[in-house]
Amino acid sequence: AQSVTQPDIHITVSEGASLELRCNYSYGATPYLFWYVQSPGQGLQLLLKYFSGDTLVQGIKGFEAEFKRSQSSFNLRKPSVHWSDAAEYFCAVGANDYKLSFGAGTTVTVRA
Amino acid sequence: DGGITQSPKYLFRKEGQNVTLSCEQNLNHDAMYWYRQDPGQGLRLIYYSQIVNDFQKGDIAEGYSVSREKKESFPLTVTSAQKNPTAFYLCASTRTEGPNTEAFFGQGTRLTVV
């Protein structure tokens, strides 16, 4: 069975600073990896996904993520954070039976 | 516009009662999912369905039941057997062209037991 670990529960970053959110996965086959963002009381929106090819993936809102098979990681990055990036971020892994499993999430606070 | 509609947005239930959460999608997606979200625990999978009239238990199915009689609909019943049902519930759907397809989410239903 697949699983996802997001080691950081909460990250605080200054506006304009860079952001990196960590994600480690466990899955026996080729992973299908996703990052989602959630605003309070809302559903989730897809930021980006990886399933093959270039290990550096570009997403919406200026986010990117890098797949590293040797480290079983799929970390999310943004070079310069805006106040509107304050939200909860979820990493997820998909399996061949369409079961989609999520990490516990990382809450990002942006300070002025 | 295509999307997923969950209703109601807020739901209050007395202890010992069953309650059904609605999830409807007009995206023509084959697969649908129910997740439960609690603070600090992320999204935990309750049930998922890849096709009409078939569904599988997720990681925390005890105390829940589902049906999938129509492609567009995947209602979730929270039964009285669920010990701690107060939570935020999210419904999602995906195509089944491959496991790399994006999941689309509804806006959620917040269930509170009173």
Share in percent of chain B as helix, strand, coil (round to 5): 0, 55, 45
Identify the pLDDT of residue B41.
83
d(CA A71, CA A68): 6
Chain A residues touching B59 at Cβ < 8 A: 101
Predicted confidence at residue B1, as pLDDT, reads 66
Interface mutation vs chain A, best among B4, B89, B101, B112, most A CBs within 10 Å: B101
pLDDT at A34 over 90: yes
CA of A88: which chain B residue's CA is closest?
Answer: B42
Closest CA to B114 of B80, B89, B86: B86
Contact status of A94 with chain B (Cβ, < 8 Å): yes
Q: How confident is the model at residue A65, as a pLDDT?
A: 98
Q: Considering chain A, what is the average pLDDT of its residues?
A: 92
pLDDT at A1: 77
Q: Are A51 and B100 in contact (CB under 8 A)?
A: yes
CA separation for the pair A54, A58 (Å, rounded) = 10
Per-residue pLDDT band at A14 (split at 50, 70, 90) = very high
| pLDDT average, residue stretch A41-52 | 89
The angle subtended at Cα A45 by Cα A44 and Cα A47, nearest 5°, is: 130
Residues of B in contact with A52 (CB under 8 A): 100
Query: What is the reported pLDDT for B96?
Result: 82
Q: Does A25 touch chain B (CB under 8 A)?
A: no
- What average pLDDT does this structure show over A93-101? 82
Residue pLDDT, tens place only, A51-92:
888 899 999 999 999 999 999 999 999 999 999 999 999 999
What was the pLDDT predicted at A11?
97
Q: Quote the minimal CA–CA distance from B105 to chain A in Å.
A: 6
A101 at B interface, C-beta within 8 A = yes
Q: What is the pLDDT of residues B5-40, one digit of tens each?
A: 999 999 999 988 999 999 999 999 999 999 999 987
Among the listed residues A56, A9, A57, A1, the one whose alpha carbon sits nearest the alpha carbon of residue A26:
A1
Closest CB from B44, B48, B105 relative to A43 = B105
| Residue B100 pLDDT > 80 | no
Reduce the DSSP state of residue A82 to 3 states and report it: coil
Is residue B101 predicted with pLDDT exceeding 90?
no
Q: For residue range B42-99, list pLDDT tens digits in order.
A: 899 999 999 999 999 999 999 999 999 999 999 999 998 898 999 999 999 998 876 6
